[in-house]
Structure 1
Amino acid sequence: MYRLTLVTLAVIFCSLTPVNGGKVLVSPVDGSHWINMEVIIKELHSRNHQVTVLRPSDSWYIKPDSPHYKTITLNSSAGFDEEGIGSSLTPFLTMQREGASLWSHISMGYELMIKWYEMHKQLLQTVEKMFENTKLMQSLRDAKYDLLLTDPAYGGGVLLGHRLGLPLVFNVRWTIQSEGHEAIAPSPLSYVPIPGAMLTDKMTFTQRLKNLLCYFFSCLRIWYFIDPNYKPFVHRHFGSDVHYMELFQSADIWLMRNDFIFEFPRPTMPNVIYMAGFQCKPSKPLSKELEDFVQSSGEHGVIVMTLGTLVGKLPEDITEDIAAAFAQLPQKVIWRHTGKRPSTLGNNTLLLDWLPQNDLLGHPKTKVFVAHGGTNGIQEAIYHGVPLVGLPLMLDQHDNFFRMEARGVAKVLDIATVNRDNFLEALKEVLYEPSYRDKMKTLSSLHRDQPMKPLDRAMFWIEFVMRHKGAPHLRTESYKMSKIQYYSIDVVAFLLTVVLLVFTVFICVVRFLCRRVFCRSKVKKE
């Protein structure tokens, strides 16, 4: 019996896979960005890696205690303010509804840029305090982290990673300047649309002109609202010859939260790893109350509506119209709404403060998803094959829904003009026109047909960086080149100079020969 026990233990011990857990420092972005960052963190924890998360003291989503990670709470106010975001959105929506003038829209856009400027300024003040806190910085160095995982939509993690000399892995779709590809990959304006331009990769002359103008205004935004914060900070701490975007471009791996189901075909780079839908997973059973409500829809099915983490309610006139439109449908509706209960609400509509979005989208009775156009929600809709009705509100949401509309899987409404009639018409079109569901099922099939799950792919490359202390062989060094070198302007200028010189010499020789011939002929005549 004793020998049998020893043999059994030996077999079990030999069958165990050796695990070398790493140490990961995480500098996240709050709000919806944290939701998908937390998915990666939980997976790292499940693989026996130690994760430490830096969080501001006023963080909205990032909790100080978790079984999946340790936290270092910074004494700062660089977190997201739920009430502040809601209050800034309300006047923007009101202005759109009231048909404000062009100047009002420009003024509102300028105010929004000023707010982003102040947010980045506040963030850099937090980073400055960290750099000055010698005790904190020494503790971070002593911890001997293997890499720093960050979201480059804010620059704090990038700056800290370089200060600590750690390999950088990005959980990215946006950088502080624009969409992630634009910072690292060639982006020809002839067929790569600027985010927000609402264009595809097939552009007419007029559309290419629009794309160029959008690029110009994007550069203006960077020059006036991003450069003034980051340039002096980086010059102060990393040297006057360092441009702040070089610190972003030198990251080892870019885990990109999209793919070519969502993105139009474009150039990319070897250290860009696509992991769209990494947060998606098969649906779990609903609670009994919710399942009973869904089943009560019968053959008509269910409509799910939510406007993401930042927007729990809309202006009352819009919610009244939306509720009235829902009331005229035979489908049951599950709507995340935290505002005043609409007076036009029908018996077929269930209002919730929170809903299990992924589980509802994966339910076979879900027919349509009414959404605001956040990347996470759109990817979950693609994963589960549910067509969309769009109510984009701000930021990248209009551009995201434009891409879905271009693929024929979404009907998009303007929040400025939405009413019960056009909202009802859009719902009926997506519900009863088979092409929307058929095309979304095709996208879902393409998305799922991969040799490796997106989350597993992300984990492989994070652990790859841990094993090899970085991935410099995948990283282009082009970011170290000047614009003149990058576009070979110096080479073209040299070749033109040579051609001009040869041409000049040729002309001089010809003129010399002509003069000699002329002189000889003149002498002979004399």
Structure 2
Amino acid sequence: MAFKMFAFCTVQLVLSVLFRTVATDNILFLQSLDSKSHHIWNKQIFDRLYENGHNLTIISFQEETSIPGKTFLVVKDFMKKVMAELSQDWDFSNLRSPLKNIKAMYDYYNTGSRILAKDDTVHRLLAYPKTFKFDLVIHDLTMGQFLLGFVDYFDNPPLVSVSAFNIPPHVITMADAPLRTTHMPHYASTYGPQMDFIERVKNTLYWGFDIFYRNCVYLANEDRRSKRLFGEQTASVGHIEKRSDVILVNSDFSMEHFRALPPNVIPVGGLHVSRREEVPPIIKQFIARAIKGVILLSFGTNIDSGMLGEQLNRDIFNVFRSMPDYGFIWKHGNPEKLDVFPANVLPLKWVPQSAILSNQRTKLLISHGGLLSLQEASWHGVPVVALPLFVDQFSNAEKLVKAGVGLSLPLTEINETNLRECIVRILQEPSYYEKMKKRSYHFKGQPEHPLDRAIFWIEKVLENKGLSYLRSPALDMNVFQIYGLDMIGVVLLVAFCYYLLVRRHFGKKKPIQDKKSKKE
């Protein structure tokens, strides 16, 4: 009897495996940005999809080992190549200007795409036969739009676009989302929704410059790259990105300004926060040993403290040393360049940031103001001192200040005195903790975890082979049809023709009337 039961279970298991193998969907995940933080965010998605039984082929900028069902095409030394070309122009002090900030980002995207288009990884994927069936393409819409040529190349499977970069400005054109520059601050600005007249004018200028530069310069270059790789018959990348059935954005209403979004733009902000992270024993012991708790300083995955200059590092070091009751965990790539560290400072080249922030003894995060770091701090209710450097970090920092959950200190104003004042102020004023706890409550108060929501919509696109009913019909119309300019034109034409007829009619009668009056 036991043998029969064993045999039955074995057959069932084999059949289930075979059925799952037959039913498995093939997904192409096109990562486009060499950022460890973006990779961590995307990884939560492709790892969960793999756990749910899907086969994935993934372009990756981080070293990952391929396993059955998860194939990585790894791009090597990408950032090194990009920064070799941009380093002479990449000056943090210049990026405070919104227009320079916007242009610098598109220059980075353009340089990155040019280098990526030549990489062996892209050409390895291009060597796949066109008949290879991908059931879905997921594209990191932040940059690398030329990669969308693979959608046409593999016979137009459904497209899901994702981005860890909040709601990128071009989602406006991708999804027909409303743009109201009078209360929607551009990410490169530090404005809030309530703007005075001059701020509204400047904000409109920033949005206009962004849209113009992306469409007329950046996308034009992406189109040329796409056509060189996939052939002249390939659709423009601007048209392909508008085919996105669903757009998943790293945003949450509890932390962001008001935005009206179409039904296929779905906020999944914070989907990375609850990931599993190993906390080394040295960190556990250090946290337990700190008298009043710990403070974490981390500039994220793309910026290292050593890049900020010797003087600034010295100021930070002196502040930490002057506060022995607190333990300071400092993510630093080159700690050997500084003096011998006191007992209350723990320098590490890598930190499990979210896990440290989840510890009740963590009192404060000192951060560059990156969105993913601020989401982790908000989820776990930890106030922030932001030292913004570029891109959206100025805007993120200003949101912290206006919400009363943190302070901001621009790079040009950072010194030993100012930094200590900011730290002490937050540690001593309970309002920062109270407001951050309230933000955490709202952030966590969702009907499902953001990652579950993201996976639900991706698999719904797979199941239905697209969700075109969520897309705005305006995406298939031209500007004249969208704004009724053709109707207005016809009305004006009819009115003008009527005017000519009336004028001609009365113009002929006038001489007759004049003749009659002369005879009389």
TM-score using structure 2 length = 0.84
State which of 28, 31, 35 in structure 1 corresponds to 2:35: 31
Given the superposition, is the C-alpha separation of residues 297 and 113 from structure 1 closer, same or farther in structure 2, using an over 3 Å criterion? same
When structure 1 is superposed on structure 2, of 476-485 and 367-376 the one drifting more is 476-485
Residue in 1 that maps onto 2:78: 79
Equivalent AA in structure 2 for residue 47 of structure 1: N
Tell me, yes or no, if structure 1 residue 215 matches structure 2 residue 196. Answer: no
Distance of aligned partners of 1:52 and 1:283 in 2 relative to their CA distance in 1, 3 Å threshold: closer
Q: 1:376 aligns with which of 372, 377, 389?
A: 372
Out of 430, 437, 441, the residue aligned to residue 445 of structure 1 is 441
CA–CA separation in structure 1 for the residues paired with 2:234 and 2:69? 40
Residue of structure 1 in register with 2:415 after alignment: 419
Please show how residues 21-100 of structure 1 align to structure 2 within 5 Å: 21-29=24-32, 30-32=34-36, 33-55=38-60, 59=61, 61-65=62-66, 69-72=70-73, 79-81=78-80, 84=83, 88=87, 92-93=91-92
1:202-255: CA deviation from partner (whole Å, max 9, x where unpaired):
222211101111123224532564134123345665767954311111111111
Q: Judge conservation of contact 2:297–2:330 (CA < 8 Å) in 1.
A: yes
Check 1:240–1:403 CA distance in 2 against 1; reply closer, same or farther (3 A cut). Answer: farther
Q: Which residue of 1 aligns with 2:139?
A: 150
Q: How many angstroms does 1:422 deviate by?
A: 0.8
Aligned equivalents of 1:67, 1:434: Cα separation in 2:
51
Q: 1:183 aligned to 2:178? A: no
CA distance in structure 1 between the aligned counterparts of 2:382 and 2:110, rounded to whole angstroms: 37
The amino acid of 2:49's aligned partner reads: L
Deviates more, 1:187-196 or 1:457-466: 187-196
Give yes or no for contact 1:304–1:334 (8 Å, CA) kept in 2.
yes
Pair 1:472 & 2:476 matched: no
Distance in 2 of aligned mates of 1:497 and 1:92? 55
Q: Render the CA deviation track for 1:349-394: whole Å, top value 9, x for unaligned.
A: 1111111101100000111111112222111111111111111122
2:131 matched residue in structure 1: 141
State how far apart, in whole Å, the 2-side matches of 1:259 and 1:81 are.
Answer: 33
**Whose RCO is larger (CA < 8 A, sep 6+)?**
2
Query: For residues 310-357 of structure 1, what are the alpha-carbon distances to aligned partners after superposition, in whole Å with 9 as ceiling and x for unaligned?
Result: 122231111111111222223211110122443495432111111110
- Going from structure 1 to structure 2, the CA distance change for 1:512 and 1:428 (only over 3 Å counts) comes to farther
Q: Which of 323, 327, 335 is the equivalent residue of 1:332? A: 327
Could you tell me how far apart the structure 1 residues matched to 2:501 and 2:409 are? 67
Query: 2:462 aligns to what SS in structure 1?
Result: helix
User: 2:427 matched to 1:428?
Assistant: no
Q: How many aligned residue pairs are there? A: 505
Do residues 267 (structure 1) and 260 (structure 2) align? yes
Indicate conservation of the 8 Å contact 2:64/2:74, yes or no. Answer: no
Query: CA separation in 2, counterparts of 1:230 and 1:64?
Result: 30
1:491 is displaced (CA, Å) by 2.2
Amino acid in the other structure paired with 2:289: S
Which of residues 179, 185, 208 is equivalent to 1:193? Answer: 185
Q: Quick check: 1:162 aligned with 2:152?
A: yes
Aligned pair 1:297/2:290, yes or no?
Answer: yes
Distance change in 2, residues 1:406/1:283 (3 Å): farther
Percent identity over the alignment? 24
User: 1:498-509, aligned counterparts within 5 Å?
Assistant: 498-502=494-498
Measure, in 2, the Cα distance between the counterparts of 1:338 and 1:357.
15
- Out of 468-477 and 213-222, give the one that drifted further: 213-222
1:121/1:247 CA distance change after superposition, 3 Å: same
SS in 2 for 1:81: helix
Instruction: Tell me the alpha carbon deviations over residues 471-521 of structure 1, each in whole angstroms, 9 at most, x when there is no partner.
Output: 11212242232223222222223333344455565666777788887777x
The residue number in structure 2 matching 1:353 is 349
Q: What letter is aligned with 1:46? A: E
> Which consecutive residues of structure 2, in runs of 5 or more, have no partner in the other structure?
none
Bigger mean CA deviation after superposition, 219-228 or 195-204: 219-228
- Alpha-carbon distance, 1:438 to partner: 1.6
Distance 1:222 1:34 in 2: 24
1:460 and 2:418 are equivalent in the alignment: no
* 412 and 66 in structure 1: CA distance in 2 versus 1, 3 angstrom threshold: farther
**Structure 2 residue 116 is the aligned partner of structure 1 residue 120:** no
Secondary structure (helix, strand or coil) at the match of 2:79 reads coil
> Is the 1:465–1:471 Cα contact (8 Å) retained in structure 2?
yes
Q: State whether residues 172 and 179 of structure 2, in contact with CA within 8 Å, keep that contact through their aligned partners in structure 1.
A: yes
Whole-Å separation in 1 of the counterparts to 2:6 and 2:67 = 38
Q: C-alpha root-mean-square deviation of aligned residues, in Å?
A: 3.9
CA gap of 1:126–1:391, structure 2 versus 1, over 3 A, is same
Q: 1:380 to 1:491 in 2, by over 3 A?
A: same
1:297/1:512 CA distance change after superposition, 3 Å = farther
SS in 1 for 2:316: helix
Deviation at 1:430, TM superposition (A): 1.9
Distance 1:177 1:204 in 2: 24
Q: Deviations over 1:51-71 (max 9, x none)?
A: 22234xxx4x23244577222
In 2, the alpha carbon distance for the partners of 1:277 and 1:90 equals: 32
* Structure 1 Cα separation of the partners of residues 47 and 105 of structure 2: 34
